[in-house]
Structure 1
Amino acid sequence: MKFSEILLQKISYYLRDRNEKISIAESVTSGALQLAFSQMPGAEQFFEGGTTVYTIDQKVKHLNIDYDEANAVNCVSKNITETMAINVAKLFRTEWSIATTGYSTPVPESGNDIFAFYAVSYKGEVVLSDRIELHPLTKPMDAQSYFTECALSSLRCEVKRPFPQTH
């Protein structure tokens, strides 16, 4: 998987400039976000780590997702993704986090659609949450790459924004 070098450099620059850290919780992107962060200049200064969780049991166990809510939506919803983002930041004690969940292949549970949710949190609050939809004939790896690129591009916009300092 190839990532935009300029995008990785900018995210790295902003996180280092802010002296803030990030963690990641992913499902549909299968570790691609963590791979991208490992390629960033100075990653050891801001990337604390992440988790790739596919099943409901692992999302409940590691990210404190509500089982009944997750079961009702097959672990794929805006709220599930936002909860994953908030809780991975708590788990890794980071200011920032990003989370993804969704479908990279059309399956009955997705209505035979390909889509993903992603969420970015900052200091315990979701600052961005969105849904990405792709054509149902999109190849799984292409879908995962696109979801990853969208999440990274959105994160770059957020980390360059001046947030009020909280004490």
Structure 2
Amino acid sequence: MDFPKILLDKISYYLIDRNETISIAESVTSGFVQLAFSQMPDAEKFYRGGLTAYTLEEKVKHLGIDPSEARAVNCVSQEITELMALNVAEKFGTDWSIATTGYATPVPESGEEIFAYYSISYLGEIILSDKIELHPLTKAIDAQNYFTECILSCLRCEVKKHLLQLAFKN
């Protein structure tokens, strides 16, 4: 799997420059985001690790998601993704985190749609949370790759924006 090198390099540079760390909680992307981080230069300086929790039971067990809330939405919602992001950051003790959940194939539970929710947290606060929707004929691997690249692009923007805000404060 190839990810845009410039994107990976920028994220790596920004996180190393500020001596900040990141962790990942994935579902719909099935480890793609973690794979991308493992390809970044000097990843060991900022990437602490992640979890791929694909089922409701694993999200409850490893990411502290409330079982009744999870069942009500088949463990796929913006709120679930935000909790995943906050809880994985706490679990790994990181400054930043990313979480994903959704559907890479059209199924009855998704209304036959393909989409992903993602959330990015920084210092215990959700700073970005959104939904990506794709055409229902998109192949699963293409959907997962697209979700990953989109989320990484958003992370790059958020980390850069944060760095600029810090520069103006100093």
TM over 0.5: yes
Residue in structure 2 matched with residue 36 of structure 1 by the alignment: 36
Identical-pair percentage = 70
Give matches, 1:14-163, under 5 Å: 14-162=14-162
Secondary structure at the aligned position of 2:121 is classed as strand
TM-score by length of 2: 0.95
Counterpart Cα distance in 2 of 1:161 and 1:137: 35
AA aligned to 2:31 is G
AA aligned to 1:14 is Y
Secondary structure at the aligned position of 1:28 is classed as coil
Q: CA deviation at 1:164?
A: 5.7
Secondary structure at the aligned position of 2:74 is classed as coil
Counterpart Cα distance in 2 of 1:128 and 1:40: 22
Q: CA deviation at 1:57?
A: 1.1
Counterpart Cα distance in 2 of 1:76 and 1:2: 27
Counterpart Cα distance in 2 of 1:164 and 1:5: 26
Q: CA deviation at 1:161?
A: 1.6
Counterpart Cα distance in 2 of 1:127 and 1:140: 28
Deviations 1:109-143 (A, max 9, x none): 00000000000000000000000000000000000
Counterpart Cα distance in 1 of 2:56 and 2:141: 22
Counting matched residue pairs gives 165
Secondary structure at the aligned position of 2:41 is classed as coil
More helix by share: 2
Secondary structure at the aligned position of 2:29 is classed as coil
Name whichever of 129-138 and 153-162 sits farther off: 153-162
Structure 1 residues without counterparts, runs of 5 or longer: none
TM-score by length of 1: 0.97
Q: CA deviation at 1:40?
A: 0.2
Where in structure 1 do 4 or more consecutive aligned residues deviate above 4 Å?
A: none
Counterpart Cα distance in 2 of 1:19 and 1:160: 14
AA aligned to 1:25 is A
